[in-house]
Amino acid sequence: MSYIICFWDKSKLQVADELAKKLMAGIDGGEVKNFILNESLYAVGGVEKIIPKEEARRAFPEDWGYFNEMEDAKPGQDFAKLGNDKLLNS
């Protein structure tokens, strides 16, 4: 299952389940202030919510077609520092 990161500017990114959980734990634990996805830097302050893709489809029914075309964003090296897991983009 994938998750959708919803930003305050209404943009959205899809990430893999493991990456979403790692990101949520890092944000909750105060370890993450910024993160890199698809070679772009994002600030945690810009994140409105991180929700499962199925929940996003219910919350944003007008974006159904957009969600169906989305692919998981690739994590940057900063995710290698979170927890004891290996870098997820292998």
Encode pLDDT of 21-69 as tens digits: 999 998 998 888 899 999 999 999 999 999 999 999 999 999 989 998 9
Kindly state whether residue 37 falls inside one of the protein's structural domains: yes
Kindly state whether residue 69 falls inside one of the protein's structural domains: yes
CA angle 25, 27, 29 (to 5 degrees): 65
* DSSP conformation class of 84: S
Kindly state whether residue 8 falls inside one of the protein's structural domains: yes
Confidence (pLDDT) at 42? 93
Q: Which two structure tokens, joined as six digits, stand for 16?
A: 């893999």
Kindly state whether residue 59 falls inside one of the protein's structural domains: yes
Which domain, by its residues, includes 24? 2-74
Instruction: Report pTM.
Output: 0.83
- Residue whose tokens read 């007008």: 62
Report how many domains make up the chain.
1
